[in-house]
Chains A and B, each alone.
Chain A
C-alpha cells in the first residue's frame, strides 16, 4: 500500500441533475423526435445514464426550417451588438452552470472531473465570450467591408469534448449571424441538451439554435439536407471523406476537422522534466481521445533511454479510475466500441514487434478502462505508428538529426498538430516552417485558446476554427471570393 494513500474525493453526482429522459430542441422548444430513442451510458460503470429521444428525417426538416425562418426574420437582420448580448448571456450562463455541466460531462463521457472542470467547461465559456466580442466588429475583421452570414449551418460534433466542440461550432456561427442545427454525438448528447436549456434561459430567439440527437444516420440527413448552407464536421477522417463525397458538386460549404497522428518531437537540449509533462499531457489528456493528441513521440536517440525511463516513472503516478474523483488523471474510455478498437490496435503493435509497456496502476473492474501504455521500438510501417488509436497509447520512435525528425513527423496522411521540445528558439522557428501540421506547439502541448485558429492539413481536414480565420468559415465572400 502506498505511504500516502489518497482517500476517494468524489464530486457529488447530484450536481449534474441528470434527468431520466431528454428531448431534442427544435424551434425553441423541447419536443419528442420520431427516431428510435437511444440510451446513453455512464462509461465508468456501463450503466444507463438516461434515455434520449432522437430525431427522424421529418424532425431534421423542421429543425432546418426553424433555423431558416429565424435566420431570415430575426438573427441575421439583428445588429451585431444585439447578437453579442445574447452570446455574452450564454457565456455567463455556461459559467454559472459550470459545475453542473462539468459533472454531467464526466458522467456521460467518462473524462476526469479535473479536466471537465478545469479545461472543457471554462474553455467552452471562453469561446462564447471571445466570439460575442466579434459580433459587432465583423466589418473590422479584415474579411471584407460588409461580411454576410452564410445562412443555416449544419454541425456534427464528436464525443471526445462534447460541450467544448459544441462551443467551437455554435459560438462563431452565432456571432457571424448564422443559425444552427447541431447533432451531438450518439454517446454524449446530454450537455448539448442542457446547453439547449441555457439557450432558453438566455431568451435566444427560437430556431437560432437547434439540437438534434441521434446516430450517424441523423448526421447524414443533416449534412445532406438541401436547406443547409454550410456543414461543419468534427470527427473521423473516414466519415469526413464520406461527407466530402456527398457534398461534392453541391452549393453547400464545408469545413472538416478530422483525425490526427501528431508527432511530439523531443530534442536533446529540451527542458526534460517539462517535456515529460508535455508528452504525458499530449497523449494521456482525456484518455488520449484527442484528435490532436501527441500520439507519436519522436525522441533524439542520444536521450532516448533517459526520456523513456523518466516517462515510465511519471506515467506510473497517473491515477486511473472513477471520473468523478477529483484526483483521477485518467478516466473511462468513452464506449465499449472504442475500447475494442484500442485493444485491437495495441494487439497489432505487439504482433508487429513493438515493445509494450503498460503502467502497473490498478484499473477498475467495472466500466471501460485502459491503462496508459507506451510502445517503444516502433517502426514507421507499423499500424500503431500510422493509424489513429484515439486512446491512451503512445508510440515512441527515435531520430538522429533534425531533418530526420521532420521527415518522420511528416510521414503521415494526417496533419493536425505537432509538438517541438527544444531550448533553441531558432530550431523551433525552422521546424514550424517544415512541419505539415495546422498547429505546432513549442515547449507545450494541447493548449487551446479561442483566439488561436485550429485546423488541419492533408487528411486532417480543412478550414480553421477559432480566431479571425474561424470567422471566415461562416461568412460569405470571406474564404472563397463569393460575395
Chain B
C-alpha cells in the first residue's frame, strides 16, 4: 500500500469528520468484477494431501456456536465436550478454536473448557440487532468478560452506520474495546459488521476499515441471524481490508466468516480465498475463523472419508 494511505490513516481517527473523509475516500468496489473473481477462485480443486490439510485447518478454525433462545447449560456443556474432542473415536482430530455462546452462558462454557486450549467467545452488545443504548451494551460486554470469556463478538450499530454517523459507530467500538481491556486476561474483540444489512460492497469495505481503525482484532461478517450471511465476495472485501491494513500499519488483524457455511467444500473455498486474497499468513486460527455449528460435522465426515477411503454415515459423529 502506498505511503499516502499510511499518512491518511494517521489523520483518519482524529475526529468524526476526518473519519468520514477517510472512509468516503476509500476506492470503490466493482460488484461485477468482485463477484467474478470470487466465482473463479471458487473453482480451485483441492485434492489429496491439500484437502486433508485443509480439513484439519478448518476444524481448528471453527468457533462452534450455539445462539438460541432455547440454549441450556446442559446443551452448552455438551457442545464444549464436542469442541475439545470433535471426533472421540479419532483422537488425532484437532480441537476447535472456540465455543461461542450468549453472555449468560459464558461462565458455564468457561468452566467446561478450563485448561483445554479451546477459547470461550461470547456475543455481546445487544446481539444480534445491537438495538440498545451504550450503557446496556457495555454492561452486556462486562457480563461476558467477567464470566471469563476471552473473546467478545460485538455487533456494530448498523442504524448509525447507514445514517452516516460513522463517528458514533467508531466510538462505540472503542468503548467496547476498553471494556474488554478491563478484564484480567487479554480479550480479543471481534466486530460483527452484519454485512447482509449493509447491502453494498462499498459499505462492507467502509465498515471493515472503520472497525479496524477502532481497534477490532477481528472483523466478522454476520450474526447468522440475517440473510444473506457470509458470502465469498464479502469475505474477499474483508480479506482485502485486513491485507491492506497490514500493508499500511504492519498490524495483523483477523477475519471471521459466519452463517451459512455448512459444507467442507464451502469451507475450503474460504480457505482458498484467505490464501490467495490475504495471503498464507492468515491461514491460522488466530487470524481466520469460521462461525458455524453444522459445518463441523461435515468436516468430520469428510475427514473420516479421507482416512477410510469411503464415507461413513452421519451417525458416527456426535451431534
Decide if B189 is an interface residue (CB 8 Å cutoff): no
Judge whether B34 and A273 touch: CB under 8 Å. yes
Given contacts A326-B45, A327-B44, contact A3 B30 (CB under 8 A): no
Q: Which residues of A contact B275 (CB under 8 A)?
A: 3-4
* Interfacial residues of chain B within 196-254, with CB under 8 A of chain A in the complex: 236, 240
Given contacts A4-B280, A7-B48, A9-B47, contact A277 B33 (CB under 8 A): yes
Most buried by B among A3, A4, A270, A327: A4
Q: Indicate with 1 or 0, residue by residue over A2-34, a CB within 8 angstroms of chain B CB atoms.
A: 111111110000000000000000000000000
Judge whether A274 and B48 touch: CB under 8 Å. no
Whose C-beta in chain A lies nearest to the C-beta of B50?
A7
* Interfacial residues of chain B within 12-55, with CB under 8 A of chain A in the complex: 27-30, 32-34, 36-37, 40, 43-51, 53-54
Interface size band for B: 20 to 34
Contact of A7 among B30, B47, B272 (CB under 8 A): B47
Decide if B62 is an interface residue (CB 8 Å cutoff): no
Contact of A271 among B30, B49, B50, B236 (CB under 8 A): B30
Contact of A3 among B44, B240, B280 (CB under 8 A): B280
Whose C-beta in chain B lies nearest to the C-beta of A118?
B43
Q: Which residues of B contact A7 (CB under 8 A)?
A: 46-51
Decide if B84 is an interface residue (CB 8 Å cutoff): no
Decide if A278 is an interface residue (CB 8 Å cutoff): yes
Judge whether B46 and A423 touch: CB under 8 Å. no
Interface size band for A: 20 to 34
Whose C-beta in chain B lies nearest to the C-beta of A11?
B45
Q: Which residues of B contact A118 (CB under 8 A)?
A: 40, 43
CB distance from A68 to the nearest CB of B (A): 45
CB distance from B45 to the nearest CB of A (A): 4
Most buried by A among B30, B54, B240, B280: B30
Decide if B276 is an interface residue (CB 8 Å cutoff): yes
Contact of B49 among A3, A5, A274, A317 (CB under 8 A): A5
Cα–Cα distance between A303 and B50 once the two chains are bound (Å): 37
Q: Which residues of B contact A145 (CB under 8 A)?
A: none
Decide if B271 is an interface residue (CB 8 Å cutoff): yes
Decide if A432 is an interface residue (CB 8 Å cutoff): no
Q: Indicate with 1 or 0, residue by residue over A294-329, a CB within 8 angstroms of chain B CB atoms.
A: 000000000101100100000001000000001100
Judge whether B240 and A8 touch: CB under 8 Å. no
Decide if B283 is an interface residue (CB 8 Å cutoff): yes
CB distance from A459 to the nearest CB of B (A): 30
Judge whether A9 and B46 touch: CB under 8 Å. yes
Judge whether A305 and B2 touch: CB under 8 Å. yes
CB distance from A359 to the nearest CB of B (A): 14
Whose C-beta in chain A lies nearest to the C-beta of B240?
A273
Judge whether A114 and B43 touch: CB under 8 Å. yes
Q: Which residues of A contact B54 (CB under 8 A)?
A: 4
Judge whether A443 and B46 touch: CB under 8 Å. no
Decide if B1 is an interface residue (CB 8 Å cutoff): yes
Q: Which residues of A contact B240 (CB under 8 A)?
A: 273
Whose C-beta in chain A lies nearest to the C-beta of B51?
A7
Contact of A443 among B1, B32, B276 (CB under 8 A): B32
Cα–Cα distance between A114 and B43 once the two chains are bound (Å): 8
Most buried by B among A9, A271, A305, A444: A271
Q: Which residues of A contact B43 (CB under 8 A)?
A: 114, 118, 326
Cα–Cα distance between A7 and B54 once the two chains are bound (Å): 11
CB distance from B107 to the nearest CB of A (A): 36
Contact of A277 among B37, B47, B48, B50 (CB under 8 A): B37
Q: Which residues of A contact B4 (CB under 8 A)?
A: 306
Decide if A141 is an interface residue (CB 8 Å cutoff): no
CB distance from B269 to the nearest CB of A (A): 13
Cα–Cα distance between A7 and B29 once the two chains are bound (Å): 32
Q: Indicate with 1 or 0, residue by residue over A88-131, a CB within 8 angstroms of chain B CB atoms.
A: 00000000000000000000000000100010000000000000
Judge whether B46 and A309 touch: CB under 8 Å. no
* Interfacial residues of chain B within 246-304, with CB under 8 A of chain A in the complex: 271-272, 275-276, 280, 283
Judge whether B45 and A9 touch: CB under 8 Å. yes
Judge whether A306 and B1 touch: CB under 8 Å. yes
Judge whether A443 and B33 touch: CB under 8 Å. yes
Given contacts A4-B53, A6-B50, A317-B276, contact A270 B45 (CB under 8 A): no
Cα–Cα distance between A9 and B33 once the two chains are bound (Å): 26
Q: Which residues of B contact A309 (CB under 8 A)?
A: 1-2
Decide if A406 is an interface residue (CB 8 Å cutoff): no
Judge whether A271 and B1 touch: CB under 8 Å. no
Cα–Cα distance between A4 and B283 once the two chains are bound (Å): 8
CB distance from A7 to the nearest CB of B (A): 4
Whose C-beta in chain A lies nearest to the C-beta of B281?
A3
Q: Indicate with 1 or 0, residue by residue over A394-420, a CB within 8 angstroms of chain B CB atoms.
A: 000000000000000000000000000
Q: Which residues of A contact B47 (CB under 8 A)?
A: 6-9
Q: Which residues of A contact B48 (CB under 8 A)?
A: 7
Q: Which residues of B contact A274 (CB under 8 A)?
A: 29-30, 32-34, 37
Q: Which residues of A contact B44 (CB under 8 A)?
A: 6, 326-327
Q: Which residues of B contact A277 (CB under 8 A)?
A: 33, 36-37
Q: Which residues of B contact A8 (CB under 8 A)?
A: 47
Given contacts A4-B53, A7-B51, A305-B2, contact A271 B46 (CB under 8 A): no
Judge whether B27 and A270 touch: CB under 8 Å. yes
Cα–Cα distance between A327 and B40 once the two chains are bound (Å): 10
Whose C-beta in chain B lies nearest to the C-beta of A421?
B30
CB distance from B200 to the nearest CB of A (A): 12
Contact of A273 among B27, B271, B280 (CB under 8 A): B27
Judge whether A273 and B29 touch: CB under 8 Å. yes
CB distance from A465 to the nearest CB of B (A): 23
Cα–Cα distance between A278 and B37 once the two chains are bound (Å): 10
Whose C-beta in chain A lies nearest to the C-beta of B280?
A3
Cα–Cα distance between A443 and B35 once the two chains are bound (Å): 13
* Interfacial residues of chain B within 120-175, with CB under 8 A of chain A in the complex: none
Q: Which residues of B contact A269 (CB under 8 A)?
A: 27-28
Decide if A272 is an interface residue (CB 8 Å cutoff): yes
Cα–Cα distance between A327 and B41 once the two chains are bound (Å): 9
Q: Which residues of B contact A305 (CB under 8 A)?
A: 2
Whose C-beta in chain A lies nearest to the C-beta of B29?
A271
CB distance from A386 to the nearest CB of B (A): 29
Q: Which residues of B contact A2 (CB under 8 A)?
A: 280
Judge whether A443 and B30 touch: CB under 8 Å. yes
Q: Which residues of B contact A317 (CB under 8 A)?
A: 276
Cα–Cα distance between A6 and B41 once the two chains are bound (Å): 13
Given A274-B33, A278-B33, 11 other A-B residues pairs in contact with their CB atoms under 8 A: A4-B50, A4-B272, A5-B49, A7-B46, A271-B28, A271-B30, A271-B33, A274-B34, A277-B36, A306-B2, A306-B4
Can you list 24 A-B contacts (CB < 8 A)?
A2-B280, A4-B50, A4-B54, A4-B271, A4-B272, A4-B275, A4-B283, A6-B44, A6-B45, A6-B47, A7-B46, A7-B48, A7-B50, A9-B47, A114-B43, A271-B27, A271-B28, A271-B30, A273-B236, A274-B30, A275-B33, A306-B1, A444-B32, A444-B36
Closest 10 CB pairs of A and B: A274-B33, A9-B45, A326-B45, A271-B30, A274-B30, A7-B48, A7-B50, A306-B2, A3-B280, A272-B27
